[in-house]
Amino acid sequence: LVAPVTGVLPIGECNVSYSVPQPDGKVVTGGFSFEILDPSTTDASDVSVDVSDGGNLAPAPPPVSGPLGLARVAAYFTLAALFGGAALIAFNWAEGVNDVLALKFLRKMWIFALLSNYVVAMLRACLVSGKSVAEVIVPVGWGPLFDNLSGISAVLRVVLVIASISIVLRPERLIDPQTKFLALLVPGAAMATFAFTRSVDELLPVNVVAGVVHSITIAMWLGGLFMLSQAVLAAPGEQDALHPIEGRIRDDLRDRKSTRLNSSHANISYAV
């Protein structure tokens, strides 16, 4: 790093701190101190030069990179399960709002998503600020995360996951045509924030759009699979496994019947 000195430095101890965003979303921090002596009272021959950093330059970050990586994986998959499972109920399985296993699945995924995303934000704040885990366990210590878009997205995701409790407390909103998309908007927005996780300085619109579409579509696919495996296929009885797709089959048969009727009417009109 090169920082120009634009003015006269004050006599006394000077403290320097720096923060450097990295391409992978992490932030390298460090600092050092030096002293400006008073030339009117100091003899140059008496000044000894210390070429070492005195243990203050570029302090090692807390060893949280490993747990942070695991927490990120858990945060992504649990939030994808929450959003994708809710989308499956909203678009393909209206009976899911009355299914005990499905509601239990949404409740568990919301809890796990909240815990894992909270841990991600906490450990990121610990890594960026250089503080201990105990110092950032409360959100008031997350201030350094607001220095870049990647950190802001981590904090925003925690807030959106908390707001997603509405689909757990009131799952019937997922099948109401007037509230369906609004109910999915909050967890969907939380999932979309993963598109900004790797953003540091330059933010290209095409990258943002591609990242958001990728996050949403993958979440719907993964979450649907998780819901099918944990709630639908795990339910007793052979008929229960057909509920999520029988609505789609019914709509398809209705469309085919309507097509045949229209074709018959056209043939009759042509014959007449």
User: How confident is the model over 152-170, as pLDDT tens digits?
Assistant: 999 999 999 999 999 999 9
pLDDT of residue 272: 47
pLDDT of residue 112: 96
Amino acid identity of residue 141, one-letter, is G
pLDDT of residue 148: 81
pLDDT of residue 4: 83
Residues of the chain with pLDDT under 50: 200-201, 265-266, 268-272
pLDDT of residue 192: 92
Q: Name the nearest CA neighbour of 209 among 200, 217, 220.
A: 217
pLDDT of residue 258: 62
pLDDT of residue 253: 63
pLDDT of residue 270: 43
Q: What is the pTM assigned to this prediction?
A: 0.66
pLDDT tens digits, residue range 45-75? Answer: 555 555 555 555 555 667 788 888 899 999 9
- What number of CA atoms fall less than 13 Å from residue 225's CA on the CB side? 8
Q: Please report, for residues 82, 106, 119, 145, 252, the alpha-carbon distance to residue 70 in angstroms, rounded to integers and kept in the order given.
A: 18, 22, 10, 19, 42
